[in-house]
Every structure is written in C-alpha cells, then in structure tokens.
Amino acid sequence: MNSSFHYLVMAEQAMVQKALLARIKGSGLTLGQPKVLDYLKDHNGSSQKEIARGCHIEAGSLTSILNRMEEKGLVERRMLHGNRRNSYVFLTEKGEELRNLVTESFESIENEAFRGISEADRQQFMKTFSRIYENLTSKED
C-alpha cells in the first residue's frame, strides 16, 4: 500500500464514497446530490454560487445536479427580495427526509472510520486535517 499523502487522501475519498453509496442505495440519490444535501443542512436558502463554492463543485456541474434534484422534488429554487438575477435553493420536505438519511450515513461512516481511535487522537487528526485544508484553500484566493 502506498502511504503518500495524496494516495491516502484519494483512497479514503473513494472508500467514503463507496460506503455512502451503499448506505443510500435505493434512495434515488445520485453522485453529487448527497454533498449538496449535506451543505444545505446548514445553509438552506443559499445561492447556487455559494453552494458551488461550499461543495467544491463547478457551477455548470452544480446546475445539472440541482436540475435533477428539482425534478425529483428535493429542492426548489426561489427568488428573494425581488432579485431576479439570483435564485436561492431550498430543501423541500422530501429533500429534508433524504438529507436526514445522508446525515445519518455520514455520521455512521465517520464513526466507522474512527473506530479504535481515541477522542484525543481524533481531535488532533481533525485539527491537522483542517490546517491542511486551510493551506490548500488559501492558494485558491
């Protein structure tokens, strides 16, 4: 097994994705949609631009994800304050139900990933991993 940073990050992402897809199988959710539902959990009513940035998704890809989610009745786009240039995305009742499934699935995967790891080590890992994220995202500005 390759233990380089980039390999481990890619491998872990693939394993998380695989575990998530297994847990949401039968829900009708497709790739990209769980990430959007998870983002809307804490940012319901966000603009598409905010969602794209928060989910690290290209605007064009997000548009197609949101179109499918809207067709399935998971989200709705609304204008706010008479601003016709931007639409804001809100979860529907059905979207909130699936958001709960996604939240439970992510929590389950996280608990499995940290099984046998002390709380102190978990906190230190998250602190270090967050710093790595900050280092990489500061290059985007």
* Overall size of the chain counted in residues: 141
Rama region for 34: left / alpha / beta (φ>0; ψ in -120 to 50; rest):
alpha
Q: Which range marks the domain in which residue 107 is found?
A: 5-138
Q: Per residue in 97-127, pLDDT tens? A: 999 999 999 999 999 999 999 999 999 999 9
Strands 46-47 and 75-78, sheet pairing = unpaired
Q: Which two tokens stand for residue 122?
A: 């978990």
What CA–CA distance (Å, rounded) separates 128 from 75? 34
Query: Residue 10 is part of a domain; what is its CATH number?
Result: 1.10.10.10
- The pTM assigned to this predicted structure is 0.86
Tally the domains of the chain: 1
Q: Per residue in 29-52, pLDDT tens? A: 998 999 999 999 999 999 999 999
Place of tokens 């998380």: 16
